[in-house]
Amino acid sequence: MTSHIDTQIIDAIVELLDMDDGSSISPDTRIEDDLGLDSGLLLELFMALEERLPALEIDPSELRPEQFSTVQSLSALIASFMKEDVPA
pLDDT digits (tens, 9 = 90+) for 27-66: 999 999 999 999 899 999 999 999 999 999 888 888 888 8
**pLDDT score, position 1:** 41
Question: What is the number of domains present in the chain?
Answer: 1
Look at residue 21 and tell me if it is in a domain: yes
Beta bridge partners of 30: 70
CA–CA separation, 29 and 73 (whole Å): 10
Per-residue pLDDT of 72-86, as tens digits, reads: 999 999 999 888 654
Look at residue 88 and tell me if it is in a domain: no
CA angle 33-77-58, nearest 5°? 105
For residues 45 and 35, the answer to whether their CB atoms sit within 8 Å is: no
Three-state DSSP state, 82: strand
pTM: 0.86
Look at residue 49 and tell me if it is in a domain: yes
Q: Which domain holds residue 73?
A: 4-81
Look at residue 15 and tell me if it is in a domain: yes
By CB atoms closer than 10 A (0-12, 13-18, 19+), residue 14 is middle
